[in-house]
A and B are shown apart, each in its own frame.
Chain A
Amino acid sequence: MNLDLRLDTSGDFYARKFQPTKREDTLILNMGPQHPSTHGVLRIILEIDGEYILRAEPVLGYIHRMHEKMAEVMSYPQYLPNPARTDYLHGLAWNWAHVAAVERLMGLEVPERAEYIRVITCELNRITSHLLWWGAYLLDLGAFTPIMYAFDDRERIQDILQRITGSRLTYCYYRFGGVSNDIDDRFIEETRKQCSRMKPRFKMFKDLVTDNFILRKRVEEIGEIPADTCRKYGATGPVLRGSGVPYDVRRAEPYSVYDRFDFNIPSYDTCDAMGRYLVRMDEMQESIKIIEQALDTLPEGDYIMPKAPKKPKPPAGDVYFALEGARGKIGFHLVSDGDKSPYRLKLRAPGFSNLSLFSEVSEGVLIADAVSILGSLDLVIP
């Protein structure tokens, strides 16, 4: 019998390529890809000295689905359901970015009512995304109860959206030149009710969680990301605003009808996980403000352009369309050769850039704090 029962300790491709520091008394540890705090299938190779991280390197791509290639072999309408699958928590924003990039290239005008409907539904979706992040982040930090409160509100919003869009998570609601279905009085009434229901709940969330001493110990002065690091890595969204830069695509590069609404862009210059936490909590309230204004001024008219092309063939050329998703700046770079499918479609996922700064930020922190930092980046891995 010649059985070698020793484990192969050389590791896989990424473990062998990992460049540790030159110290000899350290341990290489894999966090993930099935670790619950890595949300989805993210794997992080850590070099640790006791509980402290010396080097960290994220390994991703375990469930990469090559949406960019799919775009090239599908026609524009066939690709409509795809973008929402890239970020399953804020699907409508991705859906929007896709249709808006095509609209921009074709010079399509969208009816005003459709723009308002898009704003309302996209903001509702942003709230659900932030609520899930809030619950899951606190779950990472060891608090179980808040996710129950978060899901209470989240489910109600999903019920509202389900009636109109037909789905609860991976939405495919927007069409080239409008939306697929008009909103009705019941939707408006339910949305208003939900908005007024949620307002006092933020106060309760603050009393219950935000002011909690244990939480503050876990997030304050943890994972400090200076504004210049954000710039060097291209981090956007709440990560950037938590570092004191009030940059929001809705204001910086106004699209749709966002320039008609009065809302603040919350930013905190503490640069730590608490800053990012507070930005998201404030953002939900700003979203409610936007929704209420949009409902008050909702114009009558078509919900989709009467002669909207079912099978668009944009002219040759390229456009870039950016919008503000729950995680940051979503970018679509669309190159068309005048055919029925894109020549090249590049998707900019905000989480990709946000995560790439993790290895710099996590140097020298405790493993438990790294979990807190990862959660505060609000990752969606695929």
Chain B
Amino acid sequence: MSEENAKPEKAPDKEKEVKKKEEPQVPKYTGYDYDCFLAPQELLKAVTKLDHADFFLEDVSCVDMQEGFQVVYHFDRFSQPGRVVLRVMISRENPEIPSIYDIFPGAAWHERECFDFFGVRFTGHPNLIPLLLDPEHQGPPPLLKEETALKDLNQLYPDRVHTPVSPDSEEFVKEINNCSNQKSRNQS
């Protein structure tokens, strides 16, 4: 009985929530001029292309979500400013991703930071030891979320396309060459 009573009460609430979300609250400019998903094995290829296109590494970040870890690489350019973000999904069970140290030596510390906070292992990193945390730190990495708190891709990035792009594709090459924050601001 109680379940039956509860159900009709919950339903209108959900409708309200959906309506709220539909309101255009999307930011005009997100700070990203080119945003793409990549498969882990294609990361190095994409980063090499960014290196040739004169980008510099801003930071390497990581987001813990239901599908696994999303490792986020931010790049920007001095000569023609525009931010490129590469997103790579890796599994929670076996969090391994190739290190980009050989292309951008500045990534070494950012990767060590991710290793500290999430336990992501960067293969090929020359010195993957704790950077900011106590080396004798016991227990799980601090930024891991509890399973009940995890959200999935659609909850976090509702309007994004999550299909991986190939760094060999013409689209990728064209986008990174033309990437500019002036352009994307004018469009919005």
Contacts and interface: CB of A to CB of B under 8 A. Distances in A.
Contact of A316 (B59, B63, B158): B158
Contacts, number: 138
Interface residues of B, number: 48
Residue picked from B31, B59, B63, B133, most chain A C-beta under 10 Å: B31
Interface stretch (A104-112, A149-157, A218-226, A296-304): A104-112
B106 A353 contact: yes
Contact of B58 (A17, A60, A316, A348): A348
Contact of A360 (B59, B105, B134): B105
Nearest to A231: B56
Contact of A231 (B78, B81, B131): B78
B27 A104 contact: yes
Given A317-B157, A317-B158, A234 B58 contact: yes
A320 B83 contact: yes
Interface in B121-176: 127, 129-136, 142-143, 151, 155-159
A177 to B, nearest CB: 14
Given A232-B105, A234-B58, A333-B72, A107 B181 contact: no
B104 A232 contact: yes
Contact of A343 (B63, B117, B136): B63
Contacts of A66: 142
B105 A335 contact: no
Contacts of B10: none
Given A68-B117, A234-B56, A333 B21 contact: no
A352 interface: yes
Interface in A39-75: 60-61, 64, 66, 68-69, 72
Contact of A13 (B59, B127, B136, B157): B136
Given A60-B132, A64-B133, A247 B78 contact: yes
A318 B151 CA distance: 14
B59 A233 contact: no
B147 to A, nearest CB: 15
Nearest to B134: A61
A352 B109 contact: yes
Contact of B157 (A234, A235, A318): A318
Contacts of B61: 333, 344, 346
B131 to A, nearest CB: 6
B88 interface: no
A329 B158 contact: no
If over half of B's interface residues share one DSSP class (helix, strand or loop), that class is named, otherwise mixed; here it is loop
B25 interface: yes
B74 A331 contact: yes
Given A234-B57, A234-B59, A343-B63, A320 B106 contact: no
A285 B68 CA distance: 49
Interface string B5-47: 0000000000000000100011111111000000000000000
B102 to A, nearest CB: 11
A14 B105 CA distance: 20
B26 A315 contact: yes
Contacts of B109: 352-353, 356
Given A106-B27, A107-B25, A316 B155 contact: yes
Contact of A234 (B106, B130, B151): B106
Contacts of A106: 25, 27
Interface in A199-236: 230-235
B106 A356 contact: yes
Interface in B77-93: 78, 81, 83, 85
Given A233-B106, A353-B106, A337 B156 contact: yes
A232 B100 CA distance: 11
12 contacts: A14-B135, A61-B131, A72-B143, A104-B29, A106-B25, A231-B54, A232-B106, A233-B105, A316-B157, A321-B31, A322-B31, A331-B59
Report the 4 A-B pairs with minimum CB-CB distance, sorted nearest first.
A233-B106, A320-B31, A61-B132, A346-B61
Interface of B: 21, 25-32, 54, 56-59, 61, 63-64, 72, 74, 76, 78, 81, 83, 85, 104-106, 108-109, 117, 127, 129-136, 142-143, 151, 155-159, 181
